[in-house]
Amino acid sequence: MDLASLTLLVDIIDAGNLSQAARKLKMTRANVSYHLKQLEKSVGVQLVRRTTRRVEPTEVGLRLYAHGRSIQNEMQAARETITTLGQGLQGRVGLSVPSGYGQMVMSDWLIEFKRQYPGIVLDVLFENRADNLRDEVDISIRVMPEPPPALIARELGSVRYLACASRAFAQQHGLPTALDQLRTTPLITSGVVGQQLRLRAYRGDERHEVTLEPTLISEHFPFLRQGILAGLGLGLVPDYVVMDAIESGEVLTTLDDYRLSIFGTRMYLLYMPNRHQTRAVRTCIEFLLDKARTDQHDHEGAPTVL
């Protein structure tokens, strides 16, 4: 067993299947499969279990993976030491941020980070997919009920949704004062393709759940804001989307005695536990955590949300 074979095993397990590993390594799937079989033949045991879609490491494969990942991390750290010797902070950081929170809140943070560290390449994806981190993504920001156990999760804050509408809508239609009224109120909110949307509402020890049928749905929160301001319905959106309009009196809130949640109540910064974190990635993680803490404090404890 040589180092190349061991790192090949790491890449296969990280990718989750042979086809993805082949694309990453710029090899054919047959070539990847051949080298994997040769490695298993050399050690005399099966290292991964193959299905039609995925590969899962065996116990021995998982142990070898841990050794291979450790070696890869050390090699990457050594390369980073050599390439950055005598230079300012450099490197690449792949970020996956929610489409709404990323654009309306984090954009200013990332521009500030880039000005502070001009040598770091920022590769930012604005997306709402909740799957595990991919090769090109070092850091993912997500709202969810619980973070995936396979990832390291740093909590950024609470998620706070508001029920709100323009003053004009409220004057013409009134605002719902009970959760059941949401079933007959035109709603504006985000959604998930192929999933039924449910609002969870908490008040004291009470927990309620309401199935939603919005009249305007989008993952693009600036568009939802436009719909709310245009008086098209009652918005169920994070507070940052309309906070300035609430302060000016243009937007009114209702159901304020409930704590509302659609996609979860906490926001997390996620990254892989055994992937080497470069100085650039580590610096970005700490920068984002500090900005989130400052943002929470500036809002006097009012949660910042996705």
Q: Are 112 and 83 in contact (CB under 8 A)?
A: no
The tokens for 173 are 């239609």
Cβ burial of 274 (10 Å; 0-12, 13-18, 19+) is: middle
**Amino acid identity for residue 301 in this structure:** G
Higher-scoring residue by pLDDT: 214, 65 = 214
What is the percent of the chain where pLDDT is above 90? 42
Beta-strand relationship, 266-271 and 139-144: antiparallel
Taking only the tens place, the pLDDT of each residue in 7-18 is 888 888 888 888
Distance CA 169, CA 167 (A): 5
CA nearest neighbour of 208 among 218, 198, 197: 198
The tokens for 190 are 């985000």
Provide the 10 A C-beta neighbour count for residue 93: 25
What pLDDT is recorded for position 291? Answer: 93
Domains for the chain: give ranges and CATH numbers: 3-83 (1.10.10.10), 91-159+265-298 (3.40.190.10), 161-261 (3.40.190.290)
**Mean pLDDT confidence for 81-110:** 82
pLDDT at 306 over 60: no
Provide the 10 A C-beta neighbour count for residue 119: 12
Question: Which one-letter DSSP state was computed for residue 130?
Answer: -
Distance CA 275, CA 73 (A): 7
pLDDT at 136 over 90: no
**Threshold 0.85, pTM exceeds:** no
Taking only the tens place, the pLDDT of each residue in 169-219 is 999 999 999 999 999 999 999 876 666 788 999 998 899 999 999 999 998
* Residue 154 main-chain phi, psi, to 5 deg: -110, 125
Cα 132 from chain centre:
9
pLDDT at 231 over 80: yes
Distance CA 150, CA 43 (A): 27
C-alpha distance from residue 236 to each of 97, 183, 186, 262 (Å): 20, 13, 11, 9
pLDDT at 304 over 50: no
